[in-house]
A and B are shown apart, each in its own frame.
Chain A
Amino acid sequence: MTAFILRRSTQSIIVLFIMSLLVFSGVNLVGDPVEMLINPEADQAEVERVIKELGLDKPVTEQYWYFLMNAFKGDLGTSFIFGEPALKLIVQRMPATIELALFSLFISLIFAIPLGIYAGLKPESKISKTIMAGSILGFSMPTFWVGILFIMFFAVYLGWLPSTGRGEIGSFLGVRSSLFTLDGLSHIFLPALNLALFKLSSVIRLTRAGTREIIHQDYIKFARAKGVAESRVINVHLLKNILIPIVTIIGLEFGSLIAFSTVTETVFAWPGMGKLIIDSIYNLDRPVIVAYLMIIVIFFVFLNLLVDILYTLLDPRVRVQGSN
């Protein structure tokens, strides 16, 4: 196991390095941040001062070298726009995104797995067909549009939930999150549901497919023949076996929930990392773009590792290579 983790870590460092090279050269090919940031009334002297201040007067290779050197020290650069360390900006907004992702994951799981199992057990029933049709809708409707629709219906028309932003922040066991207050929960519900819709659909379909396959396996038949209660057959024999593909998907999807919740965060003015990255891309805040993508790469590598480890716990047949 240790060897496995070590090997994974070395691989990730190489991935990180390649990624930094790609991202850094990529963002430096596009546009001119000074044109974005400067007051149009500024004269040429001021423009030159800013170019120098931001370090853009140096060749890209030199800029990259500085970036690498500083990155080793844990400094991923300073935001052009905010003048604060890029890492600090991202970390500041991370809790908002993580709580949104967690809550939407929670929503998708508590609905998707029971619905999926039901659709798998009774594929011919009307309810199952409705569930499956609904999941196609969930897949195909654009997040942006659904988000606006949610706001119009729940916030404007019914007036039940707030339309934008993050609610009050509460504290529980030292963790500060808007999940711990009623106001916070009312704010997070719509964006989380919006974000969950796509996951919900994919997990339903995955669960259904898994159920359909596993229900005909010998060990299920044997369990039933042995007279094991149906609830135990489903909750233990079936559920444990369909979880493997679901865990894989959830692991990766959780990463993408965090990394690419940009659309939902923008529509709901959710102050998370997704909104930060999209604003940074619009305004060519290069250091933040680079730092963000670096962090996301680390995140994905870590999640993959976690998924691999979870496999071994769920399915004793899977043995991590190199563990002996």
Chain B
Amino acid sequence: MNILNRILIIMIGCVLSSMALAKDLTVGLKSEPSSIDPHYHNLGPNNSFSAHVFDSLVGSDENQQHYPNLAVSWKPINDTTWEFKLRKGVKWHDGSNFTADDVVFTSKRAANVPKSPSGFGTYLKGKTFVKIDSHTIHIKTAKPYPLMPNDLSTVKIISKKHGEGASTSDYNSGKAAIGTGPYKFVEWVPGDKIVLKANPNYHGALKGKPAFNRVLFKPIKTGPARIAALLAGDVDLIDSVPPLDVARLKKNASLKLTSGPSNRVIYIHLDQFRENSPYIKAIGGGKIKNPLMDVRIRKAISLAINRDAMVTKVMEGIAVKAGQLLPAGFHGVSPNMKPDPYDTKAAKKLMADAGYGNGFEMTIHGPNDRYINDAKIVEALAQMLSRIGIKTKVETMPKSVYFKRASAGGLNKSPEFSFMLLGWGAGSGEASSPLRALLHTYDKSIGMGRANRGRHSDPAVDKIIQKALSTVNADARGKLLAEATEIAVGKNYGVIPIHYQMNTWAAKSSLSYQPRTDEYTLVMGLSNN
């Protein structure tokens, strides 16, 4: 009897505890958002978090494909106007109704948050929001503007009632943090935790009703500590699993790991605007004309990179070889481009043809705390390049120092380095994002080429990019973007892609996380095994 009783108690205990586990979730995050205000800081951790509490008009799924969120449909009705039909019957977390007024209010606030260290102005400027009726919005632009759904997928809609006159602190305290998303905001203790609870009235556009009663986000910055917390059962899901640990953790039956390619390409920028590049010398230290200005040398460098080894050895298999700016599946990706083969013979011949048969000396730069295994990638690159006669020195540094020098450390605030490792994540999910920022001629007046740190410039490429950016027809635009990529990357070697970063999530074995290309960690992406 006694034994039976015990078994019964244990069984009840098991049932109760498994029920409790299914309802509550704790997530260990590498980076914590800097605010609860969805318009304060336009950066990954913030946008990822705010998607739980707030919705955008256009949703962006795990592959950054659009789906109807607060808007049920959208279309251009003429060259300069887009029409958005809003979802009916949506309630804010306080029970009030969502209407077009909230959208118009959001369009005014999102770009003008005081002290915002990175705002949404880039996505909202030049757009006029007009309310047609309570659930229809027209957005007017001066010129045809195809990226309207992409831009609006980034901006979270806030309630006019609570947002009027509200400061960022009002959101952080929870007073104004009233959204329409699947989870309601409960509490934020910076550096410690963010607490959410389910919104039973959620409209269900993303994966239906919320699956967890209570969600706790815990920032755990260091990789080993994050893994330990998962192994100890203190958290149910972690993001950014270090590649080195992936193989070992995959063998652990109590965990479920999922990896997927991200929208982030790791690539090389090469100085193409200075005859005398500061970190390039002839063998022995003399002055030479910058060899990177010659497309044959750039091609030779691409051929000298053993991308297979890079992926399998340096990245522990957690990456995908890259031949262009975004992996297959994204809009504007060229179907014709493949990663360059590893061919030192052809590379050496190109070097000789260009008149650098004896090679040259070069210092290559990279960050050591920004991308996955970044410093190791730079070291591997250096070795690979030395095989075709380029004598390399490696210098890596923390991102806080690196990016300033890479963007504006040289004369007259020009980029300092000659050859540098960088990464680019296409937040808008289209090839236009890297093309306009990395390969369009640097031009402050039209906001192009901001991150073009090699100052690559080809008027033909510029023309195609600009044409694409005003082509509303999606197929035609995709073709133009692919064409621009084929010329700028495939022919000009304006940048040299190495690999697409992959991200890995680990959950306890009863759950599994659907990897996202935008690197966000969304509780909605969890499913039961």
- B201-229 vs A, CB cutoff 8 Å, 1 = contact: the mask equals 00000000000000000111110110011
Chain A min CB distance to B372 (Å): 16
Q: Which residue of B lies closest to A169 (CB)?
A: B189
Give Cα A159–Cα B408 distance, bound, in whole angstroms: 50
| Residues from chain B with Cβ under 8 Å of A162 in the complex | 232, 234
| Residues from chain B with Cβ under 8 Å of A266 in the complex | 221-222, 225
| Residues from chain B with Cβ under 8 Å of A92 in the complex | 190
- A249-292 vs B, CB cutoff 8 Å, 1 = contact: the mask equals 00000000000000000111101100110010111100000000
> Is the pair A164, B229 in contact by a Cβ cutoff of 8 Å?
yes
Q: Which residue of A lies closest to B448 (CB)?
A: A43
> Is the pair B400, A45 in contact by a Cβ cutoff of 8 Å?
no
> Is the pair B427, A41 in contact by a Cβ cutoff of 8 Å?
yes
Give Cα A41–Cα B191 distance, bound, in whole angstroms: 27
Give Cα A43–Cα B469 distance, bound, in whole angstroms: 15
Chain B min CB distance to A28 (Å): 12
> Is the pair A40, B447 in contact by a Cβ cutoff of 8 Å?
no
> Is the pair A45, B121 in contact by a Cβ cutoff of 8 Å?
yes
> Is the pair A44, B225 in contact by a Cβ cutoff of 8 Å?
no
Stretch of A130-138, A148-156, A232-240, A314-322 contacting B (4+ beta carbons < 8 Å): A148-156
Give Cα A38–Cα B118 distance, bound, in whole angstroms: 5
> Is the pair A271, B191 in contact by a Cβ cutoff of 8 Å?
yes
Give Cα A215–Cα B193 distance, bound, in whole angstroms: 52
Interface presence of A109 (CB below 8 A): no
With contact pairs A35-B404, A46-B119 given, residues A275 and B43 touching in the complex (Cβ less than 8 Å): no
- B99-130 vs A, CB cutoff 8 Å, 1 = contact: the mask equals 00000000000000011111101100100000
Interface presence of A68 (CB below 8 A): no
Instruction: Name B38-58 residues within 8 Å CB distance of A.
Output: 40-43
With contact pairs A156-B228, A276-B191 given, residues A83 and B168 touching in the complex (Cβ less than 8 Å): yes
> Is the pair A53, B190 in contact by a Cβ cutoff of 8 Å?
no
> Is the pair A78, B400 in contact by a Cβ cutoff of 8 Å?
no
Residue from B34, B192, B425 in contact with A82 in the complex, judged by beta carbons closer than 8 Å: B34
> Is the pair B437, A163 in contact by a Cβ cutoff of 8 Å?
no
Give Cα A316–Cα B398 distance, bound, in whole angstroms: 52
Chain A min CB distance to B30 (Å): 11
Interface presence of A47 (CB below 8 A): yes
Q: Which residue of A lies closest to B407 (CB)?
A: A35
| Residues from chain B with Cβ under 8 Å of A41 in the complex | 122, 427-428, 433, 437
Q: Which residue of A lies closest to B125 (CB)?
A: A45
> Is the pair B40, A83 in contact by a Cβ cutoff of 8 Å?
yes
Q: Which residue of B lies closest to A89 (CB)?
A: B190
Interface presence of A93 (CB below 8 A): yes
> Is the pair B190, A155 in contact by a Cβ cutoff of 8 Å?
no
Instruction: Name B171-193 residues within 8 Å CB distance of A.
Output: 172, 189-193
| Residues from chain A with Cβ under 8 Å of B118 in the complex | 37-39, 42, 46, 50
| Residues from chain A with Cβ under 8 Å of B433 in the complex | 41
> Is the pair A50, B116 in contact by a Cβ cutoff of 8 Å?
yes
> Is the pair B169, A84 in contact by a Cβ cutoff of 8 Å?
yes
| Residues from chain B with Cβ under 8 Å of A267 in the complex | 222, 224-225
Give Cα A47–Cα B117 distance, bound, in whole angstroms: 9
Interface presence of A166 (CB below 8 A): yes
> Is the pair B122, A46 in contact by a Cβ cutoff of 8 Å?
yes
| Residues from chain A with Cβ under 8 Å of B444 in the complex | 44
Interface presence of B522 (CB below 8 A): no
Q: Which residue of B lies closest to A84 (CB)?
A: B169
Interface presence of A30 (CB below 8 A): yes
> Is the pair A82, B221 in contact by a Cβ cutoff of 8 Å?
no
> Is the pair B401, A30 in contact by a Cβ cutoff of 8 Å?
yes
- A199-215 vs B, CB cutoff 8 Å, 1 = contact: the mask equals 00000000000000000
Give Cα A156–Cα B254 distance, bound, in whole angstroms: 13
| Residues from chain B with Cβ under 8 Å of A96 in the complex | 192
| Residues from chain B with Cβ under 8 Å of A40 in the complex | 424-425, 427, 437, 451
> Is the pair A269, B403 in contact by a Cβ cutoff of 8 Å?
no
Give Cα A92–Cα B173 distance, bound, in whole angstroms: 13
With contact pairs A30-B401, A31-B400, A37-B43 given, residues A49 and B228 touching in the complex (Cβ less than 8 Å): no
Q: Which residue of B lies closest to A53 (CB)?
A: B115
| Residues from chain A with Cβ under 8 Å of B450 in the complex | 42-44, 47
Q: Which residue of B lies closest to A147 (CB)?
A: B225
| Residues from chain B with Cβ under 8 Å of A78 in the complex | 115
Give Cα A242–Cα B389 distance, bound, in whole angstroms: 67
Interface presence of A165 (CB below 8 A): yes
> Is the pair A39, B122 in contact by a Cβ cutoff of 8 Å?
yes
Interface presence of A32 (CB below 8 A): yes
Chain A min CB distance to B227 (Å): 9
> Is the pair B41, A37 in contact by a Cβ cutoff of 8 Å?
yes
| Residues from chain B with Cβ under 8 Å of A276 in the complex | 191
> Is the pair A37, B117 in contact by a Cβ cutoff of 8 Å?
yes
| Residues from chain B with Cβ under 8 Å of A80 in the complex | 117
> Is the pair B403, A32 in contact by a Cβ cutoff of 8 Å?
yes
Interface presence of A298 (CB below 8 A): no
With contact pairs A30-B400, A32-B408, A93-B191 given, residues A151 and B218 touching in the complex (Cβ less than 8 Å): no
CB pairs A–B below 8 angstroms (6 shown): A37-B43, A83-B40, A163-B225, A165-B220, A166-B192, A279-B221
8 cross-chain pairs, A with B, having the tightest CB-CB distances, nearest first = A43-B447, A271-B191, A271-B192, A32-B404, A37-B117, A35-B403, A155-B232, A83-B115
B residues near A, CB below 8 A? Answer: 28, 34-35, 40-43, 114-119, 121-122, 125, 168-169, 172, 189-193, 218-222, 224-225, 228-229, 231-234, 369, 398-401, 403-404, 407-408, 424-425, 427-428, 433, 437, 444, 447-448, 450-451
Other than the known A162-B232, A266-B222, what 16 A-B pairs have Cβ atoms closer than 8 Å? A36-B399, A37-B43, A41-B428, A44-B444, A50-B119, A53-B114, A53-B116, A81-B117, A93-B190, A148-B228, A156-B231, A156-B232, A164-B234, A268-B225, A269-B225, A282-B400
